[in-house]
């Protein structure tokens, strides 16, 4: 029962994934608040934008770990999301700071809906992948 690098990466992934789950919960709540008029879009964007890159980087980080440890299946599962993140960030509105959300367009019902749906889907994905990593970790530990 050796403590291998794959096992290490799964453990890290589990921890990071927990953070990601919190991020996406925050995301969902934030957009719900926008929709129900509780928050000013400028404030909301100011609080959301700084979190976008950290989330992306954290996600990228665990996948690098998977890549290094040769956990191809877990990597494969995450590749679509990585591609989506890249695409999303490339097509972001013109803005000087980091982040994705533009307070002038965020209240557009289309954008709002897309963002909200994105939040829910990501939340589901991170939850599922949490269990996947858990499973993966156990398998790795047992195999070792």
Partner 1 sequence: MSNVQPSSYNNTSGVPQTNVNPGLQYSSQFNAQSQQPILKQDANSNSPVPGFVSPTNQGQITQFSQSASSSPAFNHPGIIPQPLSGFNSSSIGLSIKPGLATSNQNISQNIPASVPNSSSINNSNSSPYHPKYQQQLQINDNAPPLIPSSQFNQSIINGPPLSSSPMSQPLPQQLTSSSYSPMTNRPVNSNIASGPINPTASQYQSSFPPSSLPPGSFTSQPSMPYSRPPLTGHPRNSPLFGPPMNVPPTSSGQPMGLVGPPRPIGLNGPTGNMPGQSVGPPQSIGPVGGPPSGPTSLPHLSMKPPSGTHILNQQYPGQQYNGPLGLGQTTPSSAGPMTSKTYSGPTSLQMGQQVQPQVQSLPQMGKSANASPGPPVGLTGPPRSNIQSRYPQMPPSGYTNHQQPQAQPQGVSKQPPSPYTPQGITQQMGQLSVTKQGFDQLWGHQMVDLMQSRHILPEYPEDPPEIRLGHQFADAPNCSPEIFRCTINRIPETNSLLQKCRLPLGILIHPFKDLDSLPVIQCTTIVRCRACRTYINPFVYFVDSKRWKCNLCYRVNDLPEEFQYDPVSKSYGEPTRRPEIKSATIEFIAPGEYMLRPPQPAVYLFLFDVSQIARDSGYLQVVCDTLKEKLEELPGDARTQVGFICYDAHVHYYLMGEGLTRPKEMTVLDIDDVFLPSPESLLVNLGECREMIKELLTVLPKRYSTPGVPVSALGAALLAAYKLMAPTGGRITVFQTCLPNIGPGALQSREDPNARSSKEVAHLNPASDFYKRLALDCSGAQVAVDLFLLSSQYCDLATLSGMSKFSAGTVYHIPLFRAARNWQAEQLTRMLTRYLTRKIGFEAVMRVRCTRGISIHTFHGNFFVRSTDLLSLPNVSPDAGFGMQLTIEESLSDLQQVCFQAALLYTSSKGERRIRVHTLALPIASNLTEVLHAADQQCIIGLLSKMAVDRCASASMSEAREALMNVAVDALSAHRLSQNLPAGNVSSALYAPASLRLLPLYLLALLKRKAFRTGTSTRLDERVADMCALKSLPLSQLMRLVYPELYALHDLSEHASRPEEDDDDEPTPEPPRLHLSAERISSNGAYLLDDGETMIIYVCCNVSAAFLSETFGVAAFSQLADEARSVPRLQTAGSRLLHALLDRLNEERPYPAGLLVLRDNSPSRQQFIERLVDDRVESAFSYYEFLQHVKNQVK
Contact status: 104 vs partner 1 (CB under 8 A)? yes
Residue 107, SS3? coil
13-21, 80-88, 102-110, 128-136 -> range binding partner 1 (CB under 8 A):
102-110
Neighbours of 25 (CB within 10 A): 14
Dihedral of the alpha carbons of 93, 95, 99, 100, in degrees to the nearest 10: -10
Tokens of 74: 């877990």
Neighbours of 33 (CB within 10 A): 14
Nearest-angstrom CA–CA distance, 62 and 68: 10
Contact status: 107 vs partner 1 (CB under 8 A)? yes
Site string for partner 1, 23-62 (x = CB under 8 A): ---------x-xxxxxxxxx--------------------
Nearer to partner 1, 107 or 127 (CB): 107
Contacting residue, 21, 53, 112, 141, with partner 1 by CB under 8 A:
112
Nearer to partner 1, 40 or 135 (CB): 40
Contact status: 90 vs partner 1 (CB under 8 A)? no
Alpha carbon of residue 138 to chain centroid: 23
Footprint on this chain of partner 1 (rule: CB under 8 A): 32, 34-42, 93-96, 102-104, 107-110, 112-113, 116-117
């Amino acid at each position: 029962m050796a403590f291998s690098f794959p096992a290490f990466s799964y453990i890290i992934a589990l921890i990071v994934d927990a953070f990601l789950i919190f991020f996406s919960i925050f995301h969902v709540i934030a957009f719900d608040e926008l929709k129900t008029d509780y928050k000013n879009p400028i404030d909301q964007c100011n609080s959301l934008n700084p979190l976008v890159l950290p989330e992306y980087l954290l996600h990228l980080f665990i996948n690098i770990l998977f890549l290094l440890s040769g956990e191809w299946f877990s990597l494969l599962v995450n590749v679509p999301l990585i591609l989506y993140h890249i695409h999303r960030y490339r097509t972001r509105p013109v803005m000087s700071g980091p982040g994705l959300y533009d307070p002038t367009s965020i209240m557009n019902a289309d954008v709002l809906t897309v963002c909200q749906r994105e939040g829910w889907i990501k939340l589901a994905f991170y939850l599922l992948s949490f269990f996947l990593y858990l499973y993966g970790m156990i398998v790795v530990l047992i195999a070792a």
